[in-house]
Amino acid sequence: MITTACPICNEDLRNHHKEKREKCLWRFTREARNPVVYASRSKLICPTCGEEMLDHNSNQTQECVNQYILDVEDLES
């Protein structure tokens, strides 16, 4: 089970409207897959494993991002 604090805006994902959740999820997947590009702006902590996205190799990134998307979808049901 993931933490339900949004990695983008730090609010509880369960308090997001559907639109906001999709926006945050989209931003997270984009930034998680390009941590070097976005790292200068802010640290991105992986909501799946709790490590910095910069410390992930590309396989780990893929796994964590996919897992996170599944978990967020689970929250909606």
Contacts with Zn ion by CB under 5 A lie at 6, 8-9, 24, 46, 48-49, 64
| Between 2 and 8, CB nearer to Zn ion | 8
- Position 44: which residue type? L
Helix, strand, coil content of the chain in percent (nearest 5): 60, 5, 35
Structure tokens at 21: 């959740």
| Between 2 and 64, CB nearer to Zn ion | 64
| Between 58 and 77, CB nearer to Zn ion | 58
Report the alpha-carbon distance of residue 55 to residue 15 in Å, rounded.
29
CB of 36 to Zn ion, least distance (A): 16
